[in-house]
Amino acid sequence: MDYILPVSEARARLPELIKKIGEMGRHLIITKNGHPEAVLMSPEELETLEVQSDPKLMRAIAEGLEDLKAGRIYPHEQVFKRK
């Protein structure tokens, strides 16, 4: 369950809320005049959302997983061998 708080309360409790968000993996929806204005989330979750919103990166990840399943893998030394 996400937390929903007005900006004034979020401002007063920010250190506590940051700790709670990080530990529990939840979101804090901050409202202003009763309307959602911002969301506080962990940096890890933000990174995940950024990766998921990049179609090119998601295709590359999917191709890599397909290569792994098909056994198309090479040792580090072979890939980065010096010429």
Task: Give residue-wise pLDDT tens across range 23-44.
Answer: 887 889 999 999 999 999 999 8
Task: Give residue-wise pLDDT tens across range 2-15.
Answer: 889 999 999 999 99
Task: Give residue-wise pLDDT tens across range 43-64.
Answer: 989 999 999 999 999 999 999 9
Range of the domain at 10: 3-79
28-32: strand order across its sheet = 3-6, 28-32, 35-40
* The one-letter amino acid at 41: M
Q: What local confidence, expressed as pLDDT, does residue 57 receive?
A: 96
Q: What is the tally of structural domains in the chain?
A: 1
CATH of the domain at 64: 3.40.1620.10
Higher pLDDT, 82 or 50: 50
Closest Cα to residue 19, out of 40, 45, 46, 4? 40
